[in-house]
């Protein structure tokens, strides 16, 4: 008879062990896709040593100056934000230039949402993202830290 030994398991953080912080990201002059991928990492918790793929261990992210984010190349005029209304023939399109004029928050949120999991965990993570077009935000009471995102 073979004696079995206990294998070392992967540590799963408990709900009270998860330490969430608030970060402020200044989007002024940053490229949209590269900014969104770094924000998604922080929301997901991939920058922490206790990252667990099926749990929400990430932090809150406040994005300020969303209307000053950049797109490279001709994407402002050629890339389109598309959505479907739910009705027959209800496909709607708008170029990113018009989208930035109309609602720059939606452009940043759409880019980050595309980099999060598309399930209930992703929806929970997405609620921790706060985007503002200018440099003012109402989350001073949370004492957010400045998050420097280095974009190559």
Q: What is the 3-state secondary structure (H, E, C) of 86-134?
A: CCCCCEEEEEHHHHHHHCHHHHHHHHHHCCCCCCHHHHHHHCCEEECCC
Of residues 28, 60, 45, 68, the one with CA closest to residue 151: 28
Instruction: Tell the burial category of 64 from Cβ atoms under 10 Å away from its Cβ (0-12, 13-18, 19+).
Output: buried
Output phi, psi for 94, to 5 deg. -150, 140
Task: Please report which helix (H) or strand (E) contains residue 81, including its range.
Answer: strand 80-84
| Per-residue pLDDT at 141 | 96
Q: Which residues contact 111 (CB under 8 A, 6 or more apart)?
A: 32, 33, 35, 36
| Per-residue pLDDT at 11 | 82
Q: Which residues pair with 131 in a beta bridge?
A: 63
Regions of the chain where pLDDT drops below 50:
none
CA distances from 16 to 54, 57, 112 (A): 16, 11, 27
What number of H helices and E strands is found in the chain? 5, 6
Of residues 74, 92, 75, the one with CA closest to residue 83: 92
| Per-residue pLDDT at 151 | 76
Cβ-contact 40, 112 below 8 angstroms: yes
pTM score > 0.75 for this model?
Answer: yes
Superfamily designation of domain 21-70+103-146 = Ribosomal protein L13 (3.90.1180.10)
């Amino acid at each position: 008879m073979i004696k079995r030994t206990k294998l070392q398991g992967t540590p799963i953080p408990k709900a009270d062990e998860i330490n969430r912080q608030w970060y402020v990201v200044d989007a002024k002059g940053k490229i949209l896709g590269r900014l969104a991928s770094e924000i998604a990492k922080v929301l997901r918790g991939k920058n922490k040593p206790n990252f667990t793929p099926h749990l929400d261990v990430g932090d809150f992210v406040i994005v300020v100056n969303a209307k000053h984010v950049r797109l490279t190349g001709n994407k402002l005029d050629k890339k389109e934000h598309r959505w479907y209304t739910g009705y027959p023939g209800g496909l709607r399109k708008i170029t990113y230039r018009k989208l930035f004029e109309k609602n720059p928050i939606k452009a940043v949120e759409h880019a980050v949402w595309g980099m999060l999991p598309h399930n209930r965990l992703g929806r929970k993570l997405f609620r921790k993202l706060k985007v503002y077009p200018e440099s003012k935000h109402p989350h001073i009471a949370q004492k957010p830290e400045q998050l420097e995102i280095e974009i190559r």
